[in-house]
Amino acid sequence: MKVLVTGVSGFLGGAIARAFMERGDRVHGLSRRAPQKSGRDAIDLEHFQGDIADLEVCRRAAQGVGVVVHSAARVGAHGSPAPFERTNVEGTCNLLLCARDAGARAFVFTSTPSVVFDGRDQEGVDESVPYPRRHLSHYSRTKAIAEEMVLAANGKDMATVSLRPHLVFGPGDTSLLPRLLDRARSGRLRRFRGTTTKIDVTFVDDAAAAHLLAADALLEGGARAAKVAGKAFFISSGEPVDTWKMIDRLLEAAGAPRVSREISPRLSYFLGWLCEILWRGESEPPLTRWVVRELATSHWFDIGAARRDLGYRPSVSVEEGLRRLQAWLQTSDRRIEPHR
């Protein structure tokens, strides 16, 4: 099988591409940066370098593929809407068109639980929870638009599905851990006083495996595909964890101290609002109201539908995932740089 994976130079996209390649599938990779070709995290595939908002690049990358896995996205807590709309909405539209034109039979979209986040606790919710009337960030708004487009494109010629992995972590992390370390090293990380919240996390290998399961289910057709096609699924470890304990464990794995300073959520929300005013450019401010609400609320999800319909079974516990992350970080050639 020939598979196109977008965002292949990124953390999850690279893991998905490696998982397909390890079982013998041929992979096309599409990303703005070329993936690493040497070292422990090398990935050697047929790479197409460019922007998914470029229709011609998408068309070339999709030629001859049977499956498209779309994991590329503009991620961030702040910024003007145009870049998010260009990548997350226009780029997804391009890939759907090119996948259909290329004769692809399956389209797997990497979404996020943020598409249904309304600023309040979400404890054990399933896929029936609706999109909010008002999104709290351009990221979540544009990802929700993209997810709706993907699910609406499901049909007899090309089946589609959307996966919502939450807080993917593990060896090779280029997003979550660097952001945490950046804030911790600069003294900008504070735990919220008087709050106890729980979150879901997902080990990267399990997140990648879910994408393979989704692709296989769509290709199989019949009753199995009918349970999956045109639907969204939450993906996680299935072990909700205390938010700040998890943050502390991630920092410890990287050799950084635990978060000791505290701040009230109300003051933090005000500071987030103030930062948004002062940081009017494209650079990400130290704090935003969306980040505050994410940290101040519980969000963990019922993955029963993924277990039942996809056959998804988390294989790496949170504890084992942290152990593997620490072992990866302790190898001699590892250095987590501040996120930029």
Q: Which of 86, 88, 77, 79 shows the shortest CA–CA distance to 7?
A: 88
312 is catalytic: no
d(CA 323, CA 172): 14
Q: Which of 12, 32, 141 shows the shortest CA–CA distance to 89?
A: 141
* Per-residue CA distances from 293 to 114, 121, 233, 299, 324 (Å): 11, 9, 23, 11, 30
Question: What does 272-304 look like in DSSP terms, one character per residue?
Answer: HHHHHHH--SSSPPS--HHHHHHHHS-EEE--H
Please, what is the angle between helix 243-253 and helix 176-185, to 10°? 90
Q: Classify residue 155 by burial, with Cβ atoms within 10 Å: 0-12, 13-18, 19+.
A: exposed
d(CA 323, CA 155): 42
Query: If you ran DSSP here, which 8-state letter would residue 116 be given?
Result: G
Active-site residue set: 139
